[in-house]
Amino acid sequence: MTQICLIRHGQTDWNKAGRLQGQTDIPLNEAGRKQAWECRDHLSGDDWDLMITTSLNRARETGEIINEKMNLPIEIMDEFMERGFGEGEGLTREERRASYEGFDFPGMESEEDLNDRIMAGLSTILQCYPGKRILLVSHGGVIAAILRLFHLDAQQEVKLFNGCINHLHYLEDSWQVRGYNVIDHLSSTGA
């Protein structure tokens, strides 16, 4: 059975301010590093085979911190990079509401393209790492899309905390969510 522990990257200053990050490369802040350390301490007691992260700094740094105790091989897979939000990136919630109707921005990656990218990444994992236990540090929009693909109603609002843990298992020829938005290892959600 292939198992993926999906971890949302630690907090950034843009998360704290409610700015939409998308593919803008924003680093972790101090609270985000603390969340990554707490994830590291929580996950280091288990056996893992591989760390996957995206090339965006906030995910890569979270993965590197988690991997300090595990010394796993690290692979960059941008199939799990955050959704591109086009002109919505960098805007606060209030600015988005004032300038755009709904959650649709010029230049935004379509939901279909995002889902295709995610499915391609999961297919690569199954092909290259069958039966492995994988830590995958990704982004809120990507993890929410995965939850909608395999667990939640497509219209259900998903609020994922920075540093949350989500479990995805490949059983009986399908992906199954075995827990999501787990935060009991965090001393603060930063919310």
The CATH number that applies at residue 53 is: 3.40.50.1240
Q: Is the pLDDT of residue 22 over 70?
A: yes
Residues 166-173: what's their mean pLDDT? Answer: 92
Cα separation values, 141 from 106, 138, 171, 172, Å: 17, 9, 24, 26
Domains of the chain: total: 1
Looking at residue 180, its pLDDT comes to: 87
Residue 54 in any domain: the answer is yes
The SS3 call for residue 90 is coil
Residue 44 in any domain: the answer is yes
Q: Which of 61, 82, 89, 109 is catalytic?
A: 82
Looking at residue 103, its pLDDT comes to: 86
**Arithmetic mean of pLDDT over the chain:** 93
Specify the pTM. Answer: 0.93
70: containing domain: 2-177
Residues 120-130: what's their mean pLDDT? Answer: 97
The pLDDT tens digits of the residues spanning 84-108 come to 999 999 999 999 999 998 889 999 9
Looking at residue 162, its pLDDT comes to: 96
Residue 190 in any domain: the answer is no
Residue 188 in any domain: the answer is no
Q: How far apart are the first and last CA of the chain?
A: 35
Q: Is the pLDDT of residue 3 over 80?
A: yes
Rounded CA gap, 82 and 44, in Å? 25
Residue 182 in any domain: the answer is no
Catalytic residue check, 9: yes
